[in-house]
Amino acid sequence: MREVGRGERTRIALTVNGEPHEIEVEARWLLSDVLRHGLGLTGTHVGCEHGVCGCCTVLIDGHPARSCLMLAIQAEGARIETVEGLAQDGRLHPLQESFVRSHGLQCGFCTPGFLMGALSLLAEAEGMSDAEVRDAIGGQLCRCTGYKGIVDAIRRAPAVERERTR
Amino acid sequence: MTGRGRYVDDFASGAAHAAFVRAEPAHARVVDIDVSGALEVDGVLGVFTHEDLDDGFAQRLPLLIPNDGLFAPRTQYALARDEVCYSGETVVMVVARDRYRAEDAAAGIAVAYEPLPVAADLWAASLPGAAPVHDGMDDNVAGRISEEHGDVSAAFAAAAHTFEWRFEMERSAAMPMEGRAVVAAWDEDEQRLTVWDSTQAPTGIRSGLASLFALDPDRVHVVAPDVGGGFGVKVMQFYPEEVLVPWAARRLGVTVKWTEDRREHFVGSNHERGQIHDVRVGVDHDGRIVALETRFVHDTGAYCPYGMIVPIITAAQLPGPYRLDNYRYELRSIYTNTVPTSPYRGAGRPHAVFVMERVIERVARALGMDSVEVRRRNFIQPNEFPYRVGVTFQDGGPTVYDSGDYPEGLEVLLDALDYDGWRARQRAAREKGRRVGIGIGAYVEGTGIGPYEGAAVTVLPDGSVTVAVGLGTQGQAHETVFAQIAADDLGVPLERVAVTTGDTRRIGFGVGTFASRSAVVAGNAVHRAALKVRELAANLASRTLETDPGDLVFSDGEVSIAGARERSLELGRLALISNPLRYAFGRDAEEAARLAQKAYAASDRPLPEGTSPGLGAIEYYSPVSGVFAFGFHAAVVEIDPDTCDLVILRYVVMHDCGKVINPMVVEGQLHGGVAQGIGGAFFERMAYDGDGQLQNASFMDFLIPYATEVPEVVTVHTETPSPNNPLGVKGVGEAGVIPVSAAIANAVHDALGAPVDSMPLSPARLFELVHER
C-alpha cells in the first residue's frame, strides 16, 4: 500500500475496449469520471453516483461493475469494456440491434448500463422466463420504458444473433 | 445505445464547473456568508452570492402562469437574498476549474442562519395559525379558486344519499435518470450566448435568457440535445442554475458547466402530487351521482413558479368520463417549507382520478352495487360530444371534450380482463381464505394544448428531408413519429427523413414538450409544413414536366405524372431546380442547371415572383382547444394476509388516443407510464420530517420500481379520432401513469374490504389495512 497525497496524480495503466491507456489520475477521481471526461467515453452515463441506478455499469475484467462506485486508481491493470466497444465496424451488436427492434429504449440514458449488464445473459436469455430476466436486470433502473421493451429485447437478442450467422 | 448519444454533460469536456451551496435549514434568515474557505481552494474562478448579481439576475425568478386567484405569488431568487424557505435553496455559487475543486470550494463556505419556524406538513400548514413559510405573510395560502357548475346545494338537498370522504395523495417526483445539466458558452467577439440545457422547453429558455441578457434573440441559442428523461420536471422555466450558469459564463469569460448530482436533484428540482381532498357526494337510489363537491389543498412547496396549474388541472379533470351536472370545487394552493412543485407526468390528473374513482368505488359499496354498473350509469354518452364539462380548463377556456366512447371503452377493457371470469376466480379464492381484489380506474386526459408549435421541413438536394421542431425530446420517439408524418406527406422513404428537436438554431419559435401535446401540436405543424413543401414541389414539377400540379403523384422520393410514371423527377432534383444558382457541385448538378433554365425560360426572372429559393417551408399549428384522450386500467391483486405481500395477478390497460401514428411508440409510452404509476401507488413519497428535512433523498431510500416490481401489462385500444385536428390524433405521453393509483386502491379495497383512501400503499400501510377489519 502506498500513500497518495491530496491533489497528487498517479500514473495508471488500463485497457479500455481493447486499447491500452496510460493516464494520470487523482486518488479520489471516480472511474466513471475518468472514463467520461478523461478518456472521452461519454457513453457511460452517471445517474445517481451512489451505485443504485446502474446507468454507469461497465465490464471490469469481464464482470459487470458500477463505475461510479470505483476509484479510477483501483482500475490499475484492469481490462474495461464500455458501451462504445459493443458495435464493431459500424455494425450494432446483436443485443443493441434487439433493443432497437423491441423499443428497449426511450430516452437512452440508462441503456448503456442495461446493455453492459445484460451481455452476460445472452447465452441463456432465450430459455429464461420473463420473470427470470426481470430478476436478472433487477438492479438497474429505467424510468421510461416500464422495462417491457428491455425484457423483450434481451430475450430476443439470441435470435437476432442467429439471424446474422445464418 | 452506441455511446454516441450526446447529453448535456457530454459536451464541453474540460469546461469550468459550477457547484452550489444549498440551504440546510428549511426556513431561516441568512445572517452571514463566509466564503474565505472557498477562496483558498486552488483552481477557484469565482464565488458568488446574491449581492454579486446585477440587473434582472438579482430579481425573483419568473412566475410562469399567473392567475387572478393567485393572490400571494412568491418565486425564489436565483441566489437567496436574506431568507431561505426550503432546504436545498441555492445560496452561493462557486465556479472552479473542475467539479472536484468546485465542490471542495463549496464545502469551505460557511453560511450562518437564524432559524425561523418551519411549516413542512401540508395539512398543518393550511390551518389558521400555522407558521408562515414566507416573511410578510400571515398564513400560507398562495391562492384560491372556486367554481360551480349547476346548482350543487339544491342537488344535495334532493339527493337520496350523501357521503363525505377524505382522499390524500403524497408528494412524489419525476426522477428522470439524467438529472438536470446546463453548459453555457459566451463568445465575447460575437456577443453570442450558446446554452446546452437538459430542458423540455429550449425555446422558452432562449427567449427568457435573451430578455435577461438584453440581447437580440438571434444572439442567444439554446440547445436541448439528447435529454435523459423529463416527465415534467425539466419543463420548469427557470431553475436558478439555468440563469446563473450563463451569467457566470459571461462574467468569467469561460465556458461553464453544471451537472446536477442525484442528491441535488432531490432537494433542488421540483416535486409534485401532494394533495388532500375533502369530498361530499350526493347520489340517487340507482347510483347516479347528482352532486359532487370537493374542497382541496395543494402542496406548492416554498414557491409557486408554475402558479396553480396543477390543482387547476385536478379540478378540471376530476369529473373524468362521468356526467356531473352539479359540481363545485374550491382549491387552495398552500406554501410549505419544502421543495417547490410543478407538473410531473400526469400533472394533477392522478390525484383527480384517484378521488373520482374512489368515489365511484365507495358509492358502489355503499349501495351494494358493482362499481362497473355505477360507472355505466354515470358515463357521458357517445352522442353527447362535443361535451361541455362546465368548468374552466387549464388553458383558461372552457373544458370541452371533443370525442370519445366511454361505454365501449369499458366493455373492451372488461373483455380483455375477462372480468366475469376473474369475479368467479375471486369467489373461489375467497372460499379458500385468499384475499383477491379487482379494481378499475377510468380517466379522461386533456392533451395537446396550445398555444402553438412550429415545424421547418426542407428537402435537400440529395433528396433527403430535414424536419426541425422547436420542442425538445426526452425519449418519446419524436424523431420517428415526426419523420413518419413528413415521409407520408412527401412520399419519401422513412429513413430519408432526419428530425431535429429542441435546437433554437434550427427553428426559433416553439413552446415545449409537456401536457401530452407534442404529437398533437408539433405533429400537426409538421403535417402542415410538409403539405406546404409538397405544394411547392408540385408547382415546380408541373412547370418542369409541363403538366397540371393536380396530376402529380408523390412516391419513393419522386414526383411523377399519374399514369405515366416514366415522366418523373426526384424530389432532390426539384430542390436543386428551386435554387437557380450556378456552379453547383454534386451529382447531376449540370443537368439540374439545365432543368432550371428550362423551368424558368417562360418566366421573366430566375426566381419567379412569389417564390423563394430552396424547397422548404416553416408552418405553425395552433389548436382551438385541448383534445381529450381517455382510457381505463384494471388491476387484479392478491394480498397474503400473513406477510401482507401484494402480488398483481393481472393488469390491463385500455387506451384511446385518437388516431395512432405509431403503435410501438404508443405502447412504450403506456408501459412506461404504468411503471411510474406503480411507483406512485406503492413506493414513492418524499419523507419530510417536521423540520423540513428530506429524509429519503437518495435512490437507496426513495424507491423507484425495478423490473421486478412492474407487472406484465396487457394493452388494448380503441381509436376515436379527434375531429379537432387534421391528423385526428390525441396525446398519449401521460396517460399510462394517471389511473394506476386509483385502480390499485380499488383493487386493494375489494380484496380486503377496507377503504384505501391515501396513497402510496407502503408495506406498513398494507399491514394496517389487512388488520383493520
Q: What is the pLDDT of residues B471-508, one digit of tens each?
A: 999 988 899 999 999 999 999 999 999 999 999 999 98
Q: B523-545 and B589-601 helices cross at what angle (nearest 10)?
A: 80
Out of B228, B261, B670, name the one closest to residue A107 (CB). B228
**Residue B365 pLDDT > 80:** yes
Instruction: Name the residue facing B671 among A107, A133, A146 (closest C-beta).
Output: A146
Any idea which residue has 450467422 for its cell? A165
- The torsion angles phi and psi of B68, rounded to 5 degrees, stand at -55, -30
Give the CB-side neighbour count of residue B484, counting CA atoms within 13 A: 13
Residues from chain A that touch B475, judged by Cβ atoms under 8 A, are 105-108, 144
The answer on pLDDT for B602 being more than 70 is no
Q: Is the pLDDT of residue B372 over 60?
A: yes
Are the C-beta atoms of residues B498 and B464 closer than 8 Å to each other? yes
What does the radius of gyration of chain A's CA atoms come to, in whole angstroms?
17
Distance CA B140, CA B117 (A): 13
User: In what order do the strands lie in the sheet containing B453-459?
Assistant: B497-501, B465-469, B453-459, B615-621
From the number of C-beta atoms within 10 Å of its C-beta (0-12, 13-18, 19+), residue B614 rates as: middle
Q: B519 and B556 in contact (C-beta within 8 Å)?
A: no
| DSSP strand pairing (B627-639 vs B90-96) | unpaired
Q: How far is A20 from chain B (nearest CA, A)?
A: 19
* A109 contacts B178? CB cut-off 8 A: yes
CA distance B158 to B152: 10
Enclosing H/E stretch for A148: helix A148-165
Task: Please determine, for residue B196, whether its predicted confidence score (pLDDT) is greater than 70.
Answer: yes
E-assigned strands of B606-725? Answer: 615-621, 627-639, 646-656, 714-717
Are A13 and A25 contacting, i.e. CB atoms less than 8 angstroms apart?
no
**CA separation (Å) from B410 to A132, B113, B723, B754?**
33, 57, 22, 25
Could you give the ipTM of this predicted complex?
0.97
The cell numbers describing B2, all together, are 452506441
Question: Which residues does A117 contact at the CB level (< 8 Å), separation at least 6?
Answer: A54, A57, A64, A137, A139, A140
How distant is the Cα of A16 from the closest Cα of chain B, in angstroms? Answer: 14
Q: Quick one: cell of A10?
A: 498517479
Secondary structure E strands in chain A:
9-16, 19-26, 57-60, 63-66, 79-81
Residue A44's φ and ψ, nearest 5 degrees, are -80, 115
Q: Of chain A residues 79-138, which have a CB less than 8 A from chain B?
A: 82-84, 86-87, 92, 96, 99-100, 103, 105-112, 115, 130, 133-135, 137-138
pTM: 0.96
Of A50, A99, A107, the CB nearest to B474: A107
- A52: contact with B, CB 8 A cutoff: yes
A75-79, B427-431, B469-473, B496-500: range with lowest mean pLDDT: B469-473
| Lookup result for grid cell 399519374 | B562
Q: How many CB atoms lie within 10 A of CB A91?
A: 10
Helix axes B419-431, B406-417, angle to 10 degrees: 50
Q: For residue A1, name the pLDDT band (cuts at 50, 70, 90).
A: low
Distances (CA, A) of B346 to A1, B105, B239, B351: 54, 39, 21, 9
Contact B475 A43 (CB under 8 A): no
pLDDT band of residue B599 (cuts 50, 70, 90) is low
Chosen from A84, A115, A140, A148 to mutate, greatest number of chain B CBs within 10 A = A148
pLDDT at B461: 87
State the sign of the Cα–Cα–Cα–Cα dihedral B579, B583, B588, B594. Answer: positive
Is the predicted pLDDT of residue B302 greater than 90, yes or no? yes
- Chain A to chain B Cβ contacts (< 8 Å): 169
Residues of chain B with C-beta less than 8 angstroms from the C-beta of A100:
1
Q: Residue B607: its pLDDT value, please? A: 79
Average confidence score pLDDT of chain B: 95
DSSP string, B145-201: EEEEES-HHHHHHH-SEEEEEEEEE--B----SS--EEEEEEETTTTEEEEEE--S-
Tell whether the model's pLDDT for residue B583 goes beyond 60.
Answer: no
Q: Count CA atoms closer than 13 A to B355's CA, side-chain side.
A: 33
In this predicted model, what pLDDT tens digit does every residue of B247-275 receive, in sequence order? 999 999 999 999 999 999 999 999 999 99
Q: What amino acid is encoded at B662 in this protein?
A: N
Weakest-pLDDT range from B9-23, B584-598, B689-703: B584-598
| pLDDT grade for B576, boundaries at 50, 70 and 90 | confident
pLDDT at B609: 81
Percent of chain B with pLDDT strictly greater than 90: 90
- 8 A C-beta contact, residue B296 and residue B280: no
Flag whether pLDDT at B193 surpasses 70: yes
pLDDT digits (tens, 9 = 90+) for B659-694: 999 999 999 999 999 999 999 999 999 999 999 999
What does each C-alpha distance from B123 to A122, B96, B337, B626 come to in angstroms? 52, 43, 13, 33
Contact (CB<8Å) B675/A147 = yes
How far is B50 from B53, CA to CA, in rounded Å? Answer: 5
pLDDT at B586: 67
pLDDT in tens, A121-140: 998 888 899 999 999 999 99
Long-range contacts of B491-495 (CB under 8 A, 24+ apart): B491/B553, B491/B554, B491/B555, B491/B556, B491/B557, B491/B558, B491/B559, B492/B463, B492/B464, B492/B465, B492/B556, B492/B557, B492/B571, B493/B556, B493/B557
> Distance (Å) from the C-alpha of residue A77 to the closest C-alpha of chain B?
23
Q: Would you place residue B584 in the very low, low, confident or very high pLDDT band (cuts 50, 70, 90)?
A: low
Percent helix, percent strand, percent coil in chain B, to nearest 5: 30, 25, 40
Which chain B residues touch A28 with a CB distance below 8 Å?
A: 100
Question: Cβ separation of B475 and A108 shorter than 8 Å?
Answer: yes
CB contact under 8 A, A135 and B261: no
Residue type for B504, please?
T
How far is it, in rounded angstroms, from Cα B509 to Cα B23? 36
For residues B434 and B185, give the distance between their C-alpha atoms in angstroms, rounded to a whole number. 63
Alpha helices, DSSP H, located in B470-628: 478-490, 523-545, 571-577, 589-601
For the beta carbon of residue B120, count every other beta carbon within 10 angstroms. 23
Cβ partners under 8 Å of residue B11, min gap 6: B183, B196, B225, B257
Q: Are B699 and B561 in contact (CB under 8 A)?
A: no
Residues of B in contact with A137 (CB under 8 A): 706-707
Confidence band, pLDDT 50/70/90 cuts, at residue B582: low
Q: Which residues of B fall within a CB distance of 8 Å from A39?
A: none
Cβ-nearest to B177 among A53, A138, A151: A53
Tell me the CA distances in angstroms from B575 to B38, B533, B536, B572, one per residue in order. 58, 10, 10, 5
| Partners of residue B454 on adjacent β-strands | B620
In sequence order, the 6+-apart residues with CB closer than 8 A to the CB of A38 are A23, A25, A29, A72
* Chain A residues closer than 8 Å to B7 by CB: 42, 45, 109
A142 to chain B, any CB pair closer than 8 A? The answer is yes
Task: Give the pLDDT band (50/70/90) at residue A50.
Answer: very high
State residue B84's pLDDT score.
98
Structure confidence at residue B600 (pLDDT): 65
**Exposure string for B71-90, b = 16+ CB within 10 A, e = fewer:** ebbbbbbbbbbebbbbbbbb
The reported pLDDT for the residue numbered B577 is 82
> Average pLDDT for residues B629-640, to the nearest whole number?
98
pLDDT value at residue B581: 67
| Nearest Cα residue to B516 out of B672, B384, B356, B297 | B672
Position B588 scores a pLDDT of: 65
Angle at Cα B455 formed by Cα B450 and Cα B458, nearest 5°?
Answer: 170
Tell which residue, B590, B577, B489, B494, has the closest CA to residue B535: B489
Residues B682/B709, Cβ–Cβ less than 8 Å: yes
Bridge partners for B186 per DSSP = B193
Which H/E stretch holds residue B293?
strand B289-301
Cell numbers standing for residue A134 = 426481470
Grid cell locating B227:
435529454
- Alpha helices per DSSP H over B612-694: 663-678
State yes or no: pLDDT of B605 exceeds 80. no
8 Å CB contact between B504 and B459:
no
Nearest residue in B to A98, CA atom: B1
Separation of alpha carbons B518 and B201, rounded Å = 12
Of B173-182, B351-360, B512-521, least confident by mean pLDDT is B512-521
